[in-house]
Structure 1
Amino acid sequence: MTIIVKIGGSLMRGTAPRRLLARLAGEQGVVVVPGGGALADQVRAVQPQWDLSDAAAHRMALLAMEQMAHAMADLESRLLPARTPAELAEAAAKGAALWFPAAMTLGHAGIPESWDITSDSLAVWLAAEMGADRLVLVKAPGAPFLAPSGDRTADIAAWSATGLADAAFATMAVRFTGDILAVPADDGDRLDAALRTGARATELNEEAKEGSRPS
């Protein structure tokens, strides 16, 4: 079973997420996708100052993700760097792969060069390309999590509408038929459940519903 785990960029703006990376590094079959974090924020800041096109900013933001992958590899040496589908499959078969996205994404005709596309959409794009079983979006505490309704299409559209995922996520997710889950980074139990290879989407959604109810 292959599980794509995207680490939200907001988790890369403060203290380095060493514990999260260490948790993921011990999982065989996981592919870690880095968010752009503070480095992508700098692209957003400089774009209007220099009057850069969205296409140029998109490419720069992809390279911000690439730089974050280098940072993550330095923070957790057990993550296995990979750049191509073959390298990702080989690394995930041994342990936890770390995606360096530039080689697969820069200039790709199927990826619009727009701020509508962030690491969320790129993660679901990669999940479809690899035929992964599940995509897990690890978000910062306080993100606008919604209890699953049981309607996958409606739930994913709501993620884009509320800002939990980027504007293009619902469109990009059409190609991916596996499970899609969003979990807060500070909820270890839900992350553990999302990484359980034998768990079914319905089971995990029920757990998410329980976790969203007030105590």
Structure 2
Amino acid sequence: MWVVKLGGSLADSERLPAWLDALAGRSDLVLVPGGGPFADQVRLAQARWGFADEAAHHLALLAMEQYGRMVCAIQAGLTPVASLDEIRRTLDAGCTPVWMPVDMVLADPRIPQTWDMTSDSLAAWLSAILSASGLLLVKSAVLAWDSIDLSALARAGVVDRLFPDYAVVSGARVYLLSIQDPHGLDRLRCLLSESRLGTF
């Protein structure tokens, strides 16, 4: 089982359809959408009106669902799901579940309701629940392929501050890919089929 977090920054990329095509119709992974431009609007609204992080957290989860529903509308073989039962049924049907996180995340009071907890850490949280063997983050940032340190990436803002800890707790092997990598899609296909790419 794989959990693949698809960065929200890919929402406006011309490369998005090719990546979705490579991920769709697989019964061995769950796709976690980022927040992308939808979450950016939450940040702007919070800066304008000063509402609490708890409200922003809920709105950011809804932003993930907006992006998730958008990719399902773009690509056949992707199905929105909101529960573990729906994930299992969708996988059994040979489709790729796209996680709608609101219900599951809000049901767990232990999850921090701050901007330190983004879709990166939520993907790791879901990986732990699913006992996923691999956790892949697909980013638009330019990434070095070797010697990647998650703590350094958190300090640089490439992943959220809590991600290194959640990644460890998940027990999954963590991988990162960049859509800026000209070999990114080939690496993705290799990773999902053979699991031979570098571990960080």
- CA-based RMSD: 2.0
Unaligned runs of 5+ in 1: 150-154, 209-215
1:164 aligns with 2:158: yes
1:204 aligns with 2:197: yes
- Counterpart position of 1:90: 89
Distance change >3 Å, CA 59–CA 4, structure 1 → 2: same
Unaligned runs of 5+ in 2: none
CA contact (8 A) 1:144 1:163 kept: no
Taking the TM superposition and a 5 Å limit, the aligned residue runs for 1:47-196 are 47-93=46-92, 94-140=94-140, 142-145=141-144, 147-148=146-147, 155-186=149-180, 187-196=184-193
1:32 aligns with 2:25: no
Q: TM-score, normalised by structure 2?
A: 0.90
Once residues 15 and 45 of structure 2 are traced to their aligned partners in structure 1, the CA distance between those partners, rounded to angstroms, is: 24
Once residues 85 and 92 of structure 1 are traced to their aligned partners in structure 2, the CA distance between those partners, rounded to angstroms, is: 11
Distance change >3 Å, CA 145–CA 115, structure 1 → 2: farther
Counterpart residue identity of residue 154, structure 2? S
Once residues 84 and 193 of structure 1 are traced to their aligned partners in structure 2, the CA distance between those partners, rounded to angstroms, is: 29
Distance change >3 Å, CA 82–CA 7, structure 1 → 2: same
Deviation (angstroms), 1:144: 4.1
Once residues 59 and 16 of structure 1 are traced to their aligned partners in structure 2, the CA distance between those partners, rounded to angstroms, is: 29
Q: TM-score, normalised by structure 1?
A: 0.84
Once residues 36 and 106 of structure 1 are traced to their aligned partners in structure 2, the CA distance between those partners, rounded to angstroms, is: 16
CA contact (8 A) 1:148 1:205 kept: no
Deviation (angstroms), 1:25: 0.5
CA contact (8 A) 1:144 1:162 kept: no
Deviation (angstroms), 1:89: 2.2
The structure 1 segments of at least 4 consecutive aligned residues displaced by more than 4 Å after TM superposition are none
> 1:56 is paired with a residue of what secondary structure?
helix
Counterpart residue identity of residue 139, structure 2? K
Question: How many pairs are equivalent?
Answer: 196
> 1:204 is paired with a residue of what secondary structure?
coil
